[in-house]
Structure 1
Amino acid sequence: MIIDAWSQHPTLRHTRDPIFDSLRRWTKAAVPTEELPVAMTVAAMDQGNVDRSLICAWVGPRNVMISNDEVAGFVAQAPDRLVGVGSVDIGKPMAAVREVRRCVEELGFRAIRVLPWLWELPPTDRRFYPVYTACAELGVPFCTQIGHTGPLMPSEVGRPIYLDQVALDFPELTIVGGHIGYPWTDEAIAVATKHENVHIDTSAYTVKRYPAALVDFMRGHGRRKVLFGTNYPMILPAKALDGIDTLELDDEARSLFLGGNALRVFKLPPAGA
């Protein structure tokens, strides 16, 4: 089983947002003129042999690019393939807590994601802490971004070392740091090694771009710590996985990376359940 730990089925508000203009210089992706069908995302998964994708909402201080209810609607169209990940407005603490509960208890989402760079706040900021508390109480992972930002926003808030303090304050909370943490990958590995409930996902990077330190971690004591991700539609699953044999993972490490770790971390039912 292959599970994509970070993707999104985009809305036009998401794909057209000028905050992503700097990324388009590299991806050269055409900007859609009409809403994309969920079938397109499922077809991309099929092409890359991805069984399930966790698709996320995008909520920031300026706007809502993909709402939680939109994510729920996408999941409803392909419930055996798509898994919802919610997001919340951390600037409104009580409303954020209520929305976390609604996402998990009513919409059936398996995680909550908030991006520090979108808020220009480090994950140690007090505005994150009610969300951590709610996620810990509900037993769902908190997902975030670590590493530099492709959009022209400050990268400092993505330093993986910030998660060290969060994990110390919330040892019960499962944390998944997406985008590898580059150029601070060693920091990400150190924090994931130190804390039982801290993990890394490889979204936004193709196999060929994984840092050597991360590959060594995946082969050894970090085999239960790293989850496969794409950041689709930025990277198609087939492209993200191209060259996976070059990682030289043994059967256990490969199985855990591609799907086993995500099954455990997000408490997903096994295939066919």
Structure 2
Amino acid sequence: MTIDVWMQHPTQRFLDHEMLATLRRWTGGAMPDDDVPIDVTIAAMDAASVAVGLLSAWRGPNGLDLVSNDEVAAWVRSHPDRLAGLATVDLDRPMEAVRELRRRVRDDGFVGLRVVPWLWRLPPTDRHYYPLFAECVELGVPFCTQVGHTGPLRPSETGRPIPYIDEVALDFPELVIVCGHVGYPWTEEMVAVARKHPNVYIDTSAYTTKRLPAELVAFMKTETGQRKVLFGTNYPMIGHTHALDGLDELGLSDAARHDYLHANAARVFARLEEHI
């Protein structure tokens, strides 16, 4: 049973935002131009035998609201056995952010927090994040974030695994951190940080199987790395079938393949139990 740990069900606000112009170029303009029924996303999952998807809400500074927590909650309620939510918060209002995260996890069953640092132009070591890290630990949910360069035309510095993820993991050793987009061009740094810290993980969103960096694939074949890498797509930018194409050629053992597609996500996102 495959679990996709990074998806978006796109709103029109999300699709129309100027920051996605480069992604439209990469996908040949294939992203939808109208509101998309949630059943379209479920069908995309079905086509690749993806059983459960984690839907991300998206919020940025100055009231930027691309995919709201309320929208994600409604989609999850419509398909509770197929979808789970990752909350977004307003970093500029720390106490409001903590309360929103707490409410979404306790009342709506969200399974984690996702903050995209380049959207805020604040690295994860910024003080705005730290109350949220403490709350994630208390709630028992992961902090999910982006590492590596940015596809949108925004500065990439906030996506460096070293120093940012490394220092957060040192300050909050109990915090589970899931780092999406493999960290390229700093994938070796990302692997080193995941190997160093027991609670740091990598997800493969934004990369098809055939484009995964060699150093990450080699890590997945080690005893440590087998438990550290989670499957993700970044749907709708990459479809599930396209993302998984070539999986048989990776050379993973049956156990490593199961961990990558299912077991690691089920363990890391402990609150997924009610969805799977």
TM-score range, shorter chain: over 0.9
DSSP 3-state at the match of 1:96:
helix
Separation of aligned partners in 2, 1:188 and 1:269: 28
When the two structures are aligned, how many residues end up with a matched partner? Answer: 272
- Name the counterpart of 1:37: 37
Letter in 2 for 1:58: W
TM-score (norm 1): 0.97
DSSP 3-state at the match of 1:200:
strand
CA contact (8 A) 1:143 1:177 kept: yes
- Structure 1 position 31, deviation (Å): 5.3
DSSP 3-state at the match of 1:245:
helix
- Name the counterpart of 1:47: 47
Letter in 2 for 1:243: G
- Name the counterpart of 1:145: 146
CA contact (8 A) 1:6 1:231 kept: yes
1:105 aligned onto 2:124: no
- Structure 1 position 32, deviation (Å): 3.6
DSSP 3-state at the match of 1:223:
helix
Letter in 2 for 1:75: V
- Name the counterpart of 2:201: 199
- Name the counterpart of 2:262: 259
Structure 2 gaps of 5+ residues are: none
1:184 aligned onto 2:186: yes
1:269 aligned onto 2:273: yes
- Name the counterpart of 2:117: 116
CA contact (8 A) 1:147 1:160 kept: yes
CA contact (8 A) 1:16 1:31 kept: no
1:174 aligned onto 2:189: no
1:216–1:33 distance in 2 versus 1, CA, 3 Å: closer
Separation of aligned partners in 1, 2:31 and 2:209: 25
CA contact (8 A) 2:31 2:237 kept: no
What does 1:88-99 align with in structure 2 at a 5 Å threshold?
A: 88-99=89-100
Structure 1 gaps of 5+ residues are: none
Q: Deviations over 1:70-128 (max 9, x none)?
A: 00001111111001110101111010000110110111100000010000111101111
Separation of aligned partners in 2, 1:135 and 1:25: 36
DSSP 3-state at the match of 1:46:
helix
Q: 1:249 aligns with which of 246, 249, 252?
A: 252
- Name the counterpart of 2:225: 222
- Structure 1 position 34, deviation (Å): 3.0
TM-score (norm 2): 0.96
CA contact (8 A) 1:22 1:152 kept: yes
CA contact (8 A) 1:202 1:230 kept: yes
Separation of aligned partners in 2, 1:33 and 1:199: 34
DSSP 3-state at the match of 2:206:
coil
1:236 aligned onto 2:239: yes
Separation of aligned partners in 2, 1:172 and 1:29: 41
Letter in 2 for 1:128: Y
DSSP 3-state at the match of 1:70:
helix
CA contact (8 A) 2:15 2:33 kept: no
Q: Deviations over 1:226-250 (max 9, x none)?
A: 0000000000000000000111000
Separation of aligned partners in 2, 1:31 and 1:48: 18
- Structure 1 position 29, deviation (Å): 2.6
- Structure 1 position 33, deviation (Å): 4.2
Letter in 2 for 1:87: T
Separation of aligned partners in 1, 2:219 and 2:32: 38
DSSP 3-state at the match of 2:226:
coil
Letter in 1 for 2:105: V
CA contact (8 A) 1:176 1:200 kept: yes
- Report percent identity of matched pairs: 60
